[in-house]
Amino acid sequence: MAGILAVGELADGRPTRLTLELATLARQLAEAAGSTASVVLLGSGAGGAASEVAAHGPSVRAIESADDGAPVAMQVAPVVAALIAKDPPDLLLIGASPDGKDIAGLLVGLTDLPILVNGSGASWSDGKATVEMSTFGGRLVTQSQFTGDRGIVLV
C-alpha cells in the first residue's frame, strides 16, 4: 500500500464532509509524492458510500460491517491496524472528529506509529510530509515532520 491512506467516517451511510476533505488531501499528497492514495471505509453502508469518496480521487476499500453496538473507534481501529500491519502506508490521515481522535489514539497504541495532531494542512516534498499544525488554540501555526518514514496525522 505504501502511499497515503485515509480513514473515512460514515454518518447515516454517507461519507462525512471531513472524509471527503481527507480524500482530497490524500490525493494531493499522493500526487506530490508520486504514490497512491486510498481511503478505507468501514461500517454499515460503506459499499454505497465508496463511489462518492472515489469521486475525489483516491481508490476506496469499503468494508461492510454490521453495527455491533460498540463505539465506532473500537470497531474501526483494530481493522485498520490489521490492514496497515500487512501493508503499511507512508502516511495515515485521520479526521479530527471525536471518533477520529479515538481511532487515532487507539492506533498509536496498537501500532506504535508516531502521530502529529491538530493538523490544519499537509504538504509533501523531498520524500517527507510536512504537517502544518494549529497550536495553542490557534494562536500559533507550526510546521513539523516525522523523524522516521511513517506516521499518523490527525487533520
- Residues lying near another protein in the complex (CB under 8 A): 17, 71, 73-74, 77, 98, 101-110, 112-118, 130, 134-148, 151, 154
Cβ closest to another protein, residue 46 vs residue 77: 77
Distances (CA, A) of 133 to 15, 117, 126, 143: 24, 7, 19, 6
Phi, psi of 51 (to 5 degrees): -65, -35
Q: Do 107 and 82 form a contact (C-beta atoms < 8 A)?
A: no
Please state the closest distance from residue 68 (CB atom) to another protein, in A: 12
Please state the closest distance from residue 154 (CB atom) to another protein, in A: 7
34 in the Ramachandran plot: left (φ > 0), alpha (ψ -120 to 50) or beta? Answer: left
Please state the closest distance from residue 81 (CB atom) to another protein, in A: 9
Please state the closest distance from residue 142 (CB atom) to another protein, in A: 4
Cβ closest to another protein, residue 124 vs residue 146: 146
Cβ closest to another protein, residue 47 vs residue 141: 141
| Separation between Cα atoms, residue 148 and residue 3, nearest integer Å | 15
Cβ closest to another protein, residue 34 vs residue 138: 138
